[in-house]
Structure 1
Amino acid sequence: MKVLDQPQGTAWGMWSTCTPADSDSKNVIHTITKNLSGVYYKPLYVTRQVLAGINYKFFCEVETASKDSHTFYSLLSIHEPLHGYSYITEKKTFDGTNLSTGWSYYEPITSITGKIFEEATEELPGVHYKPIAVSILVNQGFFYKFLCYSKGLYENTHTHITLITIHESISGSPLIQGIETIIK
């Protein structure tokens, strides 16, 4: 019989806070993805929900093993039922290919993209954003989609995964177009 532990500080049925992936959660994702050829999922952060078993949302770094190999990021949702086998319920990929035509693959932050990010976000109160990768589209200037770790600046806050869209016009400063929480 499987014993379910509700993550501390959450009500039954609610999602836990986003935490670095631990060995138990890494075992869950490894069991699901070990037979996938040509791709490796490295879980970075996880959130859990106890509901008819356990639901997981993993924020992963994904490496492909191909001639044109590249690293991208993915949000992988897995359900681990009380009885039976775990399975993937949803996959959202952040690799440029699921966005409109013309977006680049997500790439590491450079000194140039880091400066653009800092300039656009310097006035955001109460939250610290740390960009981890960026996808770029050239269209009447530059559009940037930054994948970020975000954390409130007050005590006892938790890490979130956030997507921030910034537009830098040909003749202007970079401006935030949107902020989307990917995983809480």
Structure 2
Amino acid sequence: MAKGEHEGSADGEDVAPGDGRDETATERFDRNWEELLQELRVVQTGVQILAGFLLTLPFQARFTVLEPHHRVIYLVAFCLALLATALLAAPVSAHRLLFRRHAKRELVAFGNRCAQGGMVSLALSLLAVLYLIVEVLLGTPAAVTALVVGAAVFLALWVVLPMRMGRAAGHAGSPPPSRSSS
């Protein structure tokens, strides 16, 4: 494929033919992979801190006084944090296994799906922690309110606003900027 030609988009690939980038498909997949890894680096630390914190809770003296349903909520939050950790680390493991096998397109698609699943797991884990803390401190009605507000915040910031930005950036009739060839 000649420089500047573009293949069809893969899951997680940010490509729009004529987007002004002068890169081959291989260069684009390399760039997509590097951007994905940077995003994973940002979120992995927080997820690992959350999972580590949740890991220590059962060994605290006051954990034994929690009601049985609080322990179930804790276990759900902990399992979701572990799932988020596994999903967010999976692309790196896959890269190691597929190293030098010319599978960057597949890695980008796989990494994108894992990142999305990891973010969903992270949000659900944080919402479970939020619910647990508010219920222990203030009771069920306040916990339900906090859960609804928290879920709305995650949906707004992680789904609705990015989708609106995407629509605004690619609205019909607006050609992408092009590079001058001088």
**Whose helix proportion is higher, 1 or 2?**
2
Q: Whose Rg is larger?
A: 2
**Whose strand proportion is higher, 1 or 2?**
1
> What is the TM-score of this pair, normalised by structure 2?
0.27
> What is the TM-score of this pair, normalised by structure 1?
0.26
